[in-house]
Amino acid sequence: MTPPIESESLRQHRPVTWEEIQRDAALLAKKLSSKGPWQGIVAVARGGLVPAALVARSLGIRRIETVSAAAYDGQHRSELELLKFPSAAGDGKGWLVIDDLVDSGTTMQIVRTILPKAYVGVLYAKPLGRPLANAFVREFPQDSWIDFPWEMQLVV
């Protein structure tokens, strides 16, 4: 059994706004534009779906594939499970993998195993996961908890 993530009260929350996401996705796309041409994007679901859409639009990429893995059960770390394989991407050659965050690297390690030739771009990186990203926009401390706008409670 995997131990639970540190108590949320010990983590420093860092909210990220929609405006920051749009700005940082544009900055990531700019970094990635000279690395192509790209066959397509593999979005890491769920957190990478929004950044992948923004990067795809910025780079004019229409071929989008997804990979889905779950490593969290609510706020507790659980056994990593691959839920959806990105079959159209082959070994990843010529493909971008886009995610919102590389944290401990658990998810990205599995993505890199199944797509060893892909180029990985993430909006944000923490020190433990940073070596798994080829490009990122901002780095956050390992003990921080990033509050993404799509993870916030919807207000109706």
137 within some domain:
yes
Residue ranges for the chain with pLDDT beneath 50: 1-9
Q: What's the rounded Cα separation, in Å, for the pair 51 and 26?
A: 9
Segments forming the whole domain that contains residue 46: 38-150
Looking up residue 144, the CATH number of its domain turns out to be 3.40.50.2020
pLDDT of residue 70: 78
1 within some domain:
no
156 within some domain:
no
99, two tokens? 């995610």
**Closest of 77, 103, 23 to residue 55, by C-alpha:** 23
* 81: amino acid identity, one letter: E
pLDDT of residue 3: 39
Q: What is the percent of the chain where pLDDT is above 90? A: 76
Q: Give the residue numbers annotated as catalytic, written as ranges.
A: 99-100, 103
Tally of domains in the chain: 1
33 within some domain:
no
Q: Are 70 and 78 in contact (CB under 8 A)?
A: yes
6 within some domain:
no
* DSSP reduced 3-state for 81: strand
Helix ranges (H only) for the chain are 18-33, 49-59, 106-114
**CB burial of residue 10 (10 Å; 0-12, 13-18, 19+):** exposed
9 within some domain:
no
**pTM of the full predicted structure?**
0.86
Q: Are 51 and 45 in contact (CB under 8 A)?
A: no
